[in-house]
Chains A and B, each alone.
Chain A
Amino acid sequence: MRTKTKYIPVPSNAILPERDAAREPVLECVNLGIMLGGIKAVDNFNLTVGRTEIVGLIGPNGAGKTTVFNLLTKVYHPTTGTILLNGKDTHGMTTVQVNRAGIARTFQNIRLFKNLSVADNVKAAMNNDMRYNMLSAILRLPGYRREEIAAHRRALKLLSIFDMQNMADVPAGSLPYGAQRRLEIVRALATNPCLLLLDEPAAGMNPSETAELLDSIRKVHEMFQIAIILIEHDMSLVMNICDGICVLNFGQVIAKGTPDEIQSNPAVIEAYLGRRKE
């Protein structure tokens, strides 16, 4: 059941990276919770993300990480709590509206438009920036040509961040696994997000691909100056790239802090390795 949420001011003790401290956070989750299949899949989730912060969201399998993304993108509506995007309550918004407001995501189980070409996957995500109408498409008016050419150029430029520009005409479904994951990131970027959610982008990649991905994410972060939340099981990636890390277990936040703090946190070690037998 959906309960009405109302604006709750976020406690100001949120830790933001120094560069973001003076600016309004891009995302604030307050007391977020949801019941799924009779369990509290996410409970009392609080997180503040700075303008240009990279946040790692980690935790064992089934901890509720993907569910947090589904809450942020309105695939699920929270049972309790508030999500503020750029200071605005997203209550009652749809997935489409949240995307237009600035959240873009990738999926843990890749969800590409398999029968579309790589370039078309990216251009589909630029749809809301395009203006020409149905009639100019059918009659191939100049507006159609101009915007299509511009969109294609931009798609190639975005693809080139991940060194994929020469795959533009290949059907997305026939890409190798790693390239599919990278294409999902490009597609998300094409919607001009201010917050990018990456759900296990390195899953199934080999170490050299993962290293390349790390560079690409850094590049994206530098180029677009956006906030990123990263769900990842590859600890070297998370520890390398994140400003802050949030650890979930059984739907609860069990630790928050910088990579160094998290690595030495006993609760985190216990969640990952299990309690030592006394």
Chain B
Amino acid sequence: MTMKRLINLKRTEARRIFITYSAVVIAYVIFQVMSSSGFLSSSMRGMLVPICAYMVMAVSLNLVVGISGELSLGHAGFMSIGAFSGVASAILMQSTITNAPVRLALAMIVGAIFAAIAGFLIGIPVLRLKGDYLAIVTLAFGEIIKSILNNFYFGVDAQGLHFSMLTDTTRLLKGGRLIIRGPMGISGIMKIATFPMGFILVMISLMVVFNLVNSRSGRAFMAIRDDRIAAESIGLDITKYKMMAFVTSAALAGAAGALFAMNYSTIVANKFDFNTSILILVFVVLGGQGNMLGSIIAAAALTVLPEKLRGFSDYRMLLYAIILIVTMLGTNNAEIREFFTKLNPFRRKEEA
């Protein structure tokens, strides 16, 4: 009898996944219609792609923080690796692949691969650490990536690709192009990122994360998160599964970075700093750890909010901070949460 009153996990989970996919599709359709019928302001239209990119960042970080239970503070680092490698590859492909959506898709794949490799290399030392130590090292990693990219020069000419660090010693031939220019980043990017492509990437990341979480790997991630010692006692390879979550998350962030960068004509490494990492973490915490729909809503709301608060000029960031604090208190307070679950029309009687 008491069992019947307890939440049926599997059904709740399936329903939550369905609601998440539907919400994204419905939001996409609404905004696409509004955008093409001229209902959106141009500033809002310009934010559609970044919002998609941040949604992917939040969902991918949630895989590490919420599902795998590791605090990572360098997620923007993977975004920036994806952005630079993605854009650079798009520029190299410009003449061979003239179809813009195909080039964008390929650039996102390149971004994902480079970020995944970085995730793997960083994961080797980092995933041996626990808790605060891991947070500190990932923070440092984000900063290191930023300063490497700030001092990185990459160009192409008739003789092939040229790299250099600190100063530009690529000595390109006439007709060559210096693509990454140290602190100046990449400029002259063709803005080929589109809202439909952003939507597709959001759906793909949701599919990757949801399907992974509901597989043997996801069970392992969560088992290790819930109790590491018990997980070892049943033969789960801790490092392997932490690495799998970390690398998957990095790859998705890389793809998001490539998408994000190709929404602007210029991109610099400083754009992906510690503040960006923290912002993404705020999306995850605010939306709820392990709650992908929450991450998505938080990413959208907190990207739009500063724009909407622009009318308050000087008090903008103050208001932003107050709203953040109030929401955090609200979502983490058991009584307030209970109040909202009571309002939830999807709630089943047994859940009370």
Residues of chain A touching chain B, judged by Cβ–Cβ distance below 8 Å, are 73, 75, 94-96, 99-100, 104-105, 107, 111-117, 120-121, 123-128, 130, 132, 134, 137-140, 144, 147-148, 151, 166-167, 169-171, 174, 176, 187-188, 190-191
Cross-chain pairs A/B with CB under 8 angstroms, 22 sampled: A75-B229, A96-B235, A96-B236, A99-B232, A99-B233, A99-B235, A104-B234, A105-B233, A112-B227, A113-B223, A114-B227, A125-B234, A125-B235, A127-B220, A128-B235, A132-B216, A137-B218, A138-B208, A169-B9, A169-B10, A170-B3, A171-B9
Give the residue name and chain of the B residue nearest to A134 (CB): B217
Q: Do B216 and A113 touch across chains, with their CB atoms under 8 A apart?
A: no
Which of these, B6, B11, B234, contacts A124 with CB under 8 Å?
Answer: B234
With A117-B9, A127-B219 as given contacts, are A137 and B212 in contact (CB-CB < 8 Å)? Answer: yes
Residues in A whose Cβ lies below 8 Å from that of B226: 112-116
Which 6 pairs show the lowest CB-CB distances between chains A and B? A137-B215, A99-B235, A111-B230, A113-B226, A125-B234, A95-B232
**B8 on the A face (CB < 8 A):** yes
CA distance A148 to B10 in the complex (A): 14
Q: Do B234 and A99 touch across chains, with their CB atoms under 8 A apart?
A: yes
Interface string of B1-45 (1 = CB under 8 A from A): 011001111110000000000000000000000000000000000
B1 CB, min distance to chain A CBs, angstroms: 11
A246 CB, min distance to chain B CBs, angstroms: 22
Interface string of B199-215 (1 = CB under 8 A from A): 00000000110011011
CA distance A188 to B235 in the complex (A): 10
Q: Do A174 and B208 touch across chains, with their CB atoms under 8 A apart?
A: no
**B222 on the A face (CB < 8 A):** yes
**B244 on the A face (CB < 8 A):** yes
A26 CB, min distance to chain B CBs, angstroms: 18
B203 CB, min distance to chain A CBs, angstroms: 13
Q: Do A123 and B3 touch across chains, with their CB atoms under 8 A apart?
A: no
Which of these, A107, A115, A176, contacts B222 with CB under 8 Å?
Answer: A115
With A113-B222, A113-B226, A117-B10 as given contacts, are A188 and B3 in contact (CB-CB < 8 Å)? Answer: no
Residues in A whose Cβ lies below 8 Å from that of B338: none
**B307 on the A face (CB < 8 A):** no
CA distance A75 to B9 in the complex (A): 32
Interface string of B215-251 (1 = CB under 8 A from A): 1111110110011011111111110000010001000
Residues in B whose Cβ lies below 8 Å from that of A111: 227, 229-230, 233
Give the residue name and chain of the A residue nearest to B12 (CB): A169
Residues in A whose Cβ lies below 8 Å from that of B222: 113, 115-116, 120
Residues in A whose Cβ lies below 8 Å from that of B9: 117, 169-171
A236 CB, min distance to chain B CBs, angstroms: 28
Give the residue name and chain of the A residue nearest to B211 (CB): A138
Q: Do A112 and B7 touch across chains, with their CB atoms under 8 A apart?
A: no
Q: Do A127 and B6 touch across chains, with their CB atoms under 8 A apart?
A: no
Residues in A whose Cβ lies below 8 Å from that of B2: 176
With A124-B220, A134-B212, A170-B6 as given contacts, are A112 and B229 in contact (CB-CB < 8 Å)? Answer: no
Q: Do B234 and A130 touch across chains, with their CB atoms under 8 A apart?
A: no
B66 CB, min distance to chain A CBs, angstroms: 11
